[in-house]
Every structure is written in C-alpha cells, then in structure tokens.
Structure 1
Amino acid sequence: MSEIYDVIILGAGPAGLAAGLYAGRSRLNVLIIEKGQDGGQIAITDEIENYPGQIVEGESGPSLIARMTEQAEKFGAKRVSDMIKEVELEGEVKVLKSEKNEYRGKNVIIATGAHARPIGCKGEGQFRGKGVSYCATCDANFFEDFEVYVVGGGDSAVEEAMYLTKFARKVTIIHRRDELRAAKSIQEKAFKNPKLFFMWDSVVEELEGDDILQAMYVKNVKTGEVTKVEADPEDGMFGLFGFIGTVPNTKIFEGIIDMDERGYIKTDADMHTNIPGVYAAGDVRVKSLRQVVTAAADGAIAAVQVERSMSDYF
C-alpha cells in the first residue's frame, strides 16, 4: 500500500509551488509532482519586472522559480518527477497513476497550468524570451520605443496589440485573413489607434537573428509572396507576440472535472472544483488574468482550503 499524502499538488509552477509552501507550513504531508522543469511558462521569461516586492534587480523567471522551489522544500514539501497518465478523484482517497507509479492523497491541487498556442513558424523556440513573447502584460515594457508585431486577429490579439502601443513606437498586427475576428467594438478602437498597423492575409514562416530576433519571413497566403521583415538597424531587434490562444493542460481531467468550452477548469473563489477534495489553481482554471502573482495567490488559497478542510478548528 503506497503512502497516503494529505495533499498532492500537480505542477511546480508559481501556483503549485505557492501551494506547496503554504501546505508545508501548515504541517501537512505534501507531495509535488512535476513532469518537466519547475516554473511552467514563467521559466522561459528572461526578465520579470512586475512581481510585487521582488528583491533582485533584473529578476528572471528561472531565478524567481528557484527561490520558490527552495521555499517549498524548506517547509517539507516532497518532490517527484513524473507524468500522470490517469486519475481517480472520487472518494476520500484520490489515486494518481503514471506508467510505473501510483500516488494516493486525501486532497489534490491541480496546478498544471496552460501553454501558449505556438505561432508555428520555424525558429520560434530559438527566440522565445529573446524577441518572441506570448504575454504583453509581462513583456511590453521591454519593447519601449521598439517596433513590435502581433500574430492573431481575435479579441485578445487586438486588445493586447492596443496595450502594446502604450510602449512600442509602432505595432503591426499580422493576420492570416483579410478582416479581424475581434468584436466590432474592439475593432473600432483598433482602427482609430494611430500607432496600430495591419498586414492582412499573412503568416509568419521563419525567424532569424544572432541570439536575438532580427528578421522574419512573412508569407501572403493569397499571392504566395514572401517578404523579409528586418529590424531597424538602430534598434537591432524587434518584438513578435503570439496571441492565437492558450491551451490548458487538462486533457487527463476531461469528463471528470467541470470545465468551460476551452478546457479550463471551473472553480469557485476558494479554488474548489466540482469534486470534493479537488482544487485547481493558477493558469489552468477559468480566470480573467493569468500572471505569476495571481497564480501564486491561487495556490496559497487552495492550500489554505485544504488545511481548513482537515482541521477541526475551522
């Protein structure tokens, strides 16, 4: 019979690590399961400026996460690297199964996060955090007075593009169709913005640069013509933001936990899902803002709810 933990946390991003810290400080028996590197999406962020009270100048995603990991371990959170393939969440003891192992816990906090839907062009991975971004709120400030390009045509793409005009000197939306998919009210604001431009019927095919993004090849899907877009020589680089959606990491929970139409887990304000003893925190759940600070807050709330559910005091 395997050990039964008070709480098992799936994911070691900001939400999962914050949950581990709070659960550990509550003297709960905690296991964090992470399939890859700690940090989730923030692990590819080269510099962070908007985490409240950060104490390190030039904070990076990996450095912030390293301290979060150390804190969770300091308060007794156990760790294992594994990929869960199957879950049994009903009943007093939850069972999580990988190919070789089985984990059992009285409570589960799902903090598996979400990943940005990739632009899909050659060289994209090479320039993540070096010109390519998927979060205007996170990275707009790094492109102040630079030229920036945005891939997408829906509500989020156009709204993020307008946000970027507060920082960049010029923002160009690259869209594979000849009209936007965003709501008309959003389009009206966009077309009135003097810093916003458009490349219609176009897709980004390839990125180039010496360590940072300096050029890209854009193809017109109607004519087949390929245009090379290069950074202004004085700038030395430009920004490329992908806003064609995010994908929650919730596939193994389909048909088990209540989700919205996009696959994000539904919770109440205290992170409870529809299954007793199962919580969701961070980017994986339905919410209006996905940032490190909101993920960490979700994780703390979920852990406190677990502790309260197991305490006679509350």
Structure 2
Amino acid sequence: MAPLTNGKVPKSTKMHSKVVIIGSGPAGHTAAVYLARANLNPVLFEGFMANGFAAGGQLTTTTDVENYPGFPSGILGPELMDKFREQSLRFGTTIITETVSKIDLSARPFRYWRESEENDVPETADTIIIATGASAKRLGLKGEVTYWQSGISACAVCDGAVPIFRNQPLAVIGGGDSAAEEATYLTKYGSHVYVLVRRSELRASKIMAKRLMNNPKITILWNTVATECQGDGDLLNNLRIKDVNTGEERDLPVRGLFYAIGHEPATALVRSQLQTDPDGYIITVPGTTQTSVKGVFAAGDVQDKRYRQAITSAGSGCMAALEAERLIAEEEEGVDED
C-alpha cells in the first residue's frame, strides 16, 4: 500500500509546519480537529503499521465499543476511528500515512524524518504532539491470535460488559494491582473469575490483594500459567493451564481471558530526548500535556498509564491542542511565558 495524503502535500515536498501530530488514535485526531478549526493547518502522521497497529491505533483491533459517548447502541472500533479521521479531514488536517522514524528535539524548530526518507533532508515543526499510544503486552500463547477480541482482551473496563462475557466464567492473568482491579471489575459481569498467578504470592498492594482474596466470586490459582487458548473457532471456551511446580496440565473452562500484565508505551522514538518514567511513559507537567521539552506535548496512552480509555485520550488530545495553540500565539505575539 502506497503512502497516502489528503492531497494537500506531495510526499516529496519538504514541509515546515506550525504543529505536527504523531499518532492517529483518539488523542491525535482530537488534537487535529481542534488545531484545524483554529486555522493552524496541522499535519498528522498516522503511521503505516506503526507500533504493530493500522492507522487508528488500538481501537482498530476491537469490536464493539459501548462506552464512548454519543453512540447509545455502540460502534465498532474501526468505524469509530474512521469517523475520527473523517472529522480531521473535514476541517483541513493534512493526514500522511507514513511513520515518523526519527526526530530531533534538541532545538526549535524541531526536525523529523519520515521512514522512507530517513537519510534525506528533514522536515520541521514549531511544535509537536506525541500521541503514539501504548499496546498491551501479550503472552503469545497458542491460539491467542485466533481468539484475540473473540474471548481474549487486555481491557476489562473496555470489554467486560460485552454480552459474550456476561454470566460466564472468566480468567485474568497477572498478579499486580492491575490484575486485582480487572478481576474485581469483572465480577460485575462474569459468573466467576479465576486469577492465574505465576508465583505463590501477589505483587499487588496489600489493600488490593486483600480485596481480591476476600471476594467470593474470585478464585486465585497460585503457581499457575496458561499454555493454550482453545475454542470452537469463533469464540474462546477453554484454557489449558499448568502448575509450574508439578508440571501438571488441566483444562479451565472459561469464556473470557483478560491480560493484566502491563502495557508498552510507544516511546522509542523520543525516549532518549524526553523525560519518561521507569516504564517508558512520557512524563508531563501535572494538569497539562507539556513534556520536559518546551513545544513538545504528549497526549493519550503514551503518557497515561492509569486510565487508557478512548475518552480520556481524546480529552488529553484536546488539552494538547489548546496548549500548542496558546504557545504558538504567544510566540507570534512576542510574549515569553517564561
């Protein structure tokens, strides 16, 4: 598939932009809509299978999205992202289906290179919004690809209420706070929740561990790992699990499997140039999307390790756009906010 644009900027043209957005999920497109309506002519690089996802990010791999406001009957993830994209284009965003593979944030204007032109003359931007997202860590189990989003998920809040999981036995893999939160949340919908913990103890905080162990709808399977996801070809209906001490394997009939083993933020592009936390998430000034480099903003899951929802990503995309717009206006007026 050849790189595409919306027709405004030929691929060979060297651009200077007031603002460039890297990423095409809810955060990136929300920022684009706000900036385009402010007549700042944003350029959005939606990537070409960047971070392992098609343009649109993680939502392109989901089925029904039932918790995004404005869609009372739900909407398919890919369809929702198509609507985001259409709205960005409607207001004049230049969308480029290429991946930014190299960036220099050492001085303004910032320099960046497209993947296909990494050794060529760079393009430049006065401000940059990083909205590259994060991806759930997977285990690579046998059958995982077949039943991903057909019984396997990495977000209980996103998918737990889906009809296929209601009043069904479910499983969660993980031993930290996220696993405890996911399992507890799933008890609202599932008939019973099994938590597979590889060790003989939880990594979760004491209060979360106590909550998990005291819930009558939760059973913790210690020293246990999953080895295979099985089903009827359409939906998951069984896990093969193994006791790590004895090596004994058995079946665990469940209709849903939720991974709670962490996420990987897509920050390789900027990790050496922006302040990040130990897990690689971009650190922003509290209450803002401003990063450690003036003029660079971060929005969405790339800086949010707690919520990771489409709606919170969209909200931070709005914040980044307004903050970039304000900075550009102040500098054009000769105002130094420092």
Q: How does 1:191-270 map to 2 (within 5 A)?
A: 191-209=213-231, 210-231=233-254, 238-268=255-285, 269-270=287-288
Aligned residue for 2:34? 22
Task: Judge conservation of contact 2:133–2:301 (CA < 8 Å) in 1.
Answer: yes
Task: Judge conservation of contact 2:67–2:74 (CA < 8 Å) in 1.
Answer: no
For each residue in 1:1-26, what CA deviation from the matched residue of structure 2 results, as whole angstroms up to 9, or x when unmatched? 82101111111011011111111111
For each residue in 1:227-254, what CA deviation from the matched residue of structure 2 results, as whole angstroms up to 9, or x when unmatched? 12234xxxxxx01000001110001212
TM-score by length of 1: 0.93
Aligned residue for 2:173? 151
Give, in whole Å, the separation in 1 of the partners of 2:105 and 2:71: 37
Q: Which letter does structure 2 place at the counterpart of 1:118? A: R
Aligned residue for 1:281? 299
Give, in whole Å, the separation in 2 of the partners of 1:87 and 1:263: 17
Give, in whole Å, the separation in 1 of the partners of 2:288 and 2:196: 39
Give, in whole Å, the separation in 1 of the partners of 2:182 and 2:262: 12
Aligned residue for 1:234? none
Task: Judge conservation of contact 2:213–2:220 (CA < 8 Å) in 1.
Answer: no
C-alpha deviation, 1:133, in angstroms: 0.7
Structure having greater relative contact order (Cα 8 Å, sep ≥ 6): 1
Aligned residue for 2:9? none
Range with greater deviation from structure 2 (7-16 or 207-216): 207-216
Structure 2 runs not aligned, ≥5 long:
1-12
Aligned residue for 2:212? 190
1:95 and 2:111 aligned: yes
C-alpha deviation, 1:154, in angstroms: 0.7
DSSP-derived class of the 2:219 partner:
strand
Aligned residue for 1:86? 102
Of residues 306, 309, 318, the one that matches 1:300 is: 318
DSSP-derived class of the 1:251 partner:
coil
Of residues 106, 116, 124, the one that matches 2:144 is: 124
Aligned residue for 1:171? 193
C-alpha deviation, 1:287, in angstroms: 5.1
Of residues 84, 87, 92, the one that matches 1:68 is: 84
Q: Which letter does structure 1 place at the counterpart of 2:160? A: A
DSSP-derived class of the 2:65 partner:
coil
Structure 1 runs not aligned, ≥5 long:
232-237
1:39 and 2:36 aligned: no
TM-score by length of 2: 0.87
Give, in whole Å, the separation in 2 of the partners of 1:309 and 1:141: 41
Q: 1:287 to 1:156 in 2, by over 3 A?
A: closer
Task: Judge conservation of contact 1:85–1:252 (CA < 8 Å) in 2.
Answer: yes
C-alpha deviation, 1:260, in angstroms: 0.8
Aligned residue for 2:3? none
C-alpha deviation, 1:267, in angstroms: 0.9
Give, in whole Å, the separation in 1 of the partners of 2:197 and 2:45: 39
For each residue in 1:36-63, what CA deviation from the matched residue of structure 2 results, as whole angstroms up to 9, or x when unmatched? 22221122221111112225x2311111
For each residue in 1:110-158, what CA deviation from the matched residue of structure 2 results, as whole angstroms up to 9, or x when unmatched? 0000000103311212212111111111111122211110000111101
DSSP-derived class of the 1:106 partner:
strand
DSSP-derived class of the 2:45 partner:
strand
Task: Judge conservation of contact 1:260–1:286 (CA < 8 Å) in 2.
Answer: no
DSSP-derived class of the 1:198 partner:
strand
Aligned-residue Cα RMSD (Å) equals 1.7
Percent of paired sites with the same residue: 38
Report how many aligned residue pairs link the two structures.
307
C-alpha deviation, 1:82, in angstroms: 2.1
Task: Judge conservation of contact 2:21–2:129 (CA < 8 Å) in 1.
Answer: yes
For each residue in 1:69-119, what CA deviation from the matched residue of structure 2 results, as whole angstroms up to 9, or x when unmatched? 100011111122222222111322111123432332111000000000103
Q: Which letter does structure 1 place at the counterpart of 2:277? A: D
Give, in whole Å, the separation in 1 of the partners of 2:85 and 2:271: 29
1:134 and 2:154 aligned: yes
Give, in whole Å, the separation in 2 of the partners of 1:38 and 1:72: 13
